[in-house]
Structure 1
Amino acid sequence: MEILELARRAAELASEKRAEDVLLLDLRRSCGFADYFVLCTAASEPQVKAVAEALEDTLPREGLRLLHAEGVPASGWVLLDFGAVVVHIFAPPEREYYNLEELWREAAPLLRIQ
């Protein structure tokens, strides 16, 4: 699979685990450390954990190696660094507070799953 397809797959997996407001951003013109961000909101700590575990388990088998994971579900923000694709799993307050959509406003949205 190509990187964009894998980024879309990450967004779809998050949605399948009931994450909300899943957003895939194209960062290739505005970022030097990743090509794509996937942002999503999980309603509870167990859901943050379930989304993270699904991505950690599935994406390496499909071609994206997990390089680093940061944060714990209780913190409200888990970051999964797959190199060219970085996934941010937020609880609602953290998503609003950090507002990465605004920080990376130059990035083109490629997919949004409500």
Structure 2
Amino acid sequence: MQQKTNTSSAKELSDLVVNGMLEKKAENVVVLDMKNVKNAIADFFVICSGNSDTQVDAIADSVEEVVYKNSKQNPWHKEGKENKEWILLDFVDVVVHVFKKDRRDFYALEELWGDADSITIEG
């Protein structure tokens, strides 16, 4: 099991994730602050959309590169690189969700975690 970091570094990590997303023109970037949500598995969820399989893959790769370059962290776990409709990168304190637009609407994570504080990032 990966060690949880302190909250300020989790916030810094979420900022790095956002930067990686914006480098590849991710759309509708939202940060969910999960710290006050009962039974939340992470401090932050960072969610974005891409328009194509290629863009979704590029966004996920950019996030990994920016996070590693600035914090020397790799995801503890990742899923979805094969189908490129929903790629999940788990950095323990920060969980990254890169969706193809229609998949994001279908899963509606923002609604599922509606009790989290939500911050929309303008790119």
Aligned to 1:41: 49
In 2, Cα distance between equivalents of 1:110 and 1:72: 26
Find the aligned partners of 2:13 and 2:120 in 1 and give their Cα distance.
13
The structure 2 residue matched to 1:18, chosen from 25, 28, 45, is: 25
Number of aligned residue pairs: give it. Answer: 114
Question: Where does structure 1 differ by over 6 angstroms across 4 or more consecutive aligned residues?
Answer: none
**AA at the equivalent of 2:107:** Y
- Residue 73 of structure 1 deviates from its aligned partner by 5.5
RMSD (CA atoms): 1.7
Which residue does the alignment assign to 2:97?
88
Shift of 1:95: 0.3
- Specify the alignment match of 2:117 in structure 1: 108
Q: What is the distance in 1 between the residues matched to 2:114 and 2:19? A: 22
Q: Does 1:68 align with 2:77?
A: yes
Residue of structure 1 aligned with 2:65, choices 16, 34, 57: 57
| Separation in structure 2 between the aligned mates of residue 74 and residue 96 of structure 1, nearest angstrom | 17
CA separation of 1:78/1:99 partners in 2, compared to 1, >3 Å: closer, same or farther? Answer: same
Give the residue type in structure 1 aligned to 2:115: E
**Deviation string, structure 1 residues 11-53 (Cα, Å, up to 9, x no partner):** 1220121110000110011143100000000000000110111
Identify unmatched segments of 5+ residues in structure 1: none
Q: TM-score, normalised by structure 2?
A: 0.84
- Which is further off, 64-73 or 47-56? 64-73
In structure 2, relative to structure 1, the CA distance for the partners of 1:73 and 1:52 (3 Å cut) is farther
- Tell me the TM-score normalised to structure 1 length: 0.90
